[in-house]
Amino acid sequence: MAFVAKLDEFGKPAWIAMTVLAFAVWWPLGLATLAFAIGSGRMMRGRCGRFGSWQNVDGGWGRGRRRWDASGPGGNRAFAEYRDETLRRLEEEEREFRDFLDRLRMAKDKAEFDQFMAERRGGGTDQAAAAS
């Protein structure tokens, strides 16, 4: 494991070089090295020897969780305000559109029901007259 620790000190480029060298020596050895490097997370970690998780590398980015604030990536407050305003406006437009679709469905259902009732009323008198 001392060899693995030494490669970890050099970072991802060392693991890539080791994998290429292992493939050049014997392809099953290269495949095993690649599987180990990916399976242990060594190929998915930070840059140049910094082996924290992505959450620690980028200052709070986590899986399935977004960190959006003015001090976040880039730290541009003007963009953060623009983004927040745009997201708020899009959410409002989505809510208005859903309300419009609900009203449209209700109007369609009402029109179909009114047509059904009109046919029923009209058909009911003809059947009563035919039965007499």
- Other residues' Cβ atoms within 10 Å of the Cβ of residue 6: 10
Identify whether 130 is part of a domain: no
pTM attached to this predicted model? 0.35
Identify whether 59 is part of a domain: yes
Identify whether 129 is part of a domain: no
Identify whether 9 is part of a domain: yes
Report the percentage of the chain scoring pLDDT > 70.
Answer: 68
Report residue 51: phi and psi, to 5°: -105, 45
Identify whether 132 is part of a domain: no
Q: How confident is the model at residue 2 (pLDDT cuts 50, 70, 90)?
A: confident
Pairwise pLDDT comparison (114 vs 122), residue with the higher score: 114
What is the domain count for the chain?
2
Residue 131 has pLDDT above 70, yes or no: no
Average pLDDT, the chain: 77
pLDDT of the residue at 65: 43
For 87, the domain range is 77-124
Please name which of 15, 46, 42 lies closest in space to residue 30, comparing C-alpha atoms.
Answer: 15
pLDDT of the residue at 49: 46
Identify whether 6 is part of a domain: yes
- Statement to judge: residues 21 and 57 lie in one domain: yes
